[in-house]
Structure 1
Amino acid sequence: MKKETSRKGVGATKTLSPIQREELLSALRARFEKHRNRHPGLEWAPLHERLEANAEKLWSLHEMERTGGEPDVVGQDLKTGEYLFFDCSAESPKGRTSVCYDREGLESRKEHPPKTTAMDMAAAMGVELLTEEQYQALQKLGNFDTKTSSWVKAPAEIRKLGGALYGERRYGRVFVGHNGAQSYYGARGFRGSLRV
Structure 2
Amino acid sequence: MPNQLTPADKEELLSTLKTRFAKHKERHEGLNWTDIQSKLEANPAKLHTLYQMEQTGGEPDVIGTDPTTGEYLFVDCAAESPKGRRSICFDRAAWESRKEHKPENTAEDMAAEIGITILTEQQYRDLQQLGKFDLKTSSWVATSDNIRKLGGALFCDRRYDTVFTYHNGAESYYAARGFRGMLKV
Tell me the TM-score range normalised by the shorter chain: over 0.9
Q: Report what 1:48 is aligned to.
A: 37
Matched, 1:85 2:74: yes
Cα distance in 1 for residues equivalent to 2:127 and 2:96: 31
Cα distance in 2 for residues equivalent to 1:98 and 1:31: 27
* Aligned positions of 1:13-162 closer than 5 A: 13-162=2-151
Cα distance in 2 for residues equivalent to 1:79 and 1:156: 25
Match of 2:16, SS state, is helix
**Residue type of the alignment partner of 1:116:** N
Cα distance in 2 for residues equivalent to 1:19 and 1:61: 15
Aligned-residue Cα RMSD (Å) equals: 0.8
Matched, 1:185 2:155: no
State the Cα distance separating 1:80 from its structure 2 match: 2.3
Moved over 2 A (4+): 77-81
Q: Report what 1:7 is aligned to.
A: none
Gaps of 5+ in 1: 5-12
Length-normalised TM-score, structure 2:
0.98
Deviations 1:91-125 (A, max 9, x none): 00000100010000000011100011000000000
Gaps of 5+ in 2: none
Match of 1:24, SS state, is helix
Match of 1:184, SS state, is coil
Length-normalised TM-score, structure 1:
0.93
Cα distance in 1 for residues equivalent to 2:135 and 2:70: 33
Cα distance in 1 for residues equivalent to 2:66 and 2:118: 18
Cα distance in 1 for residues equivalent to 2:4 and 2:170: 32
Match of 2:75, SS state, is strand
Cα distance in 1 for residues equivalent to 2:119 and 2:17: 20
Cα distance in 2 for residues equivalent to 1:51 and 1:80: 16
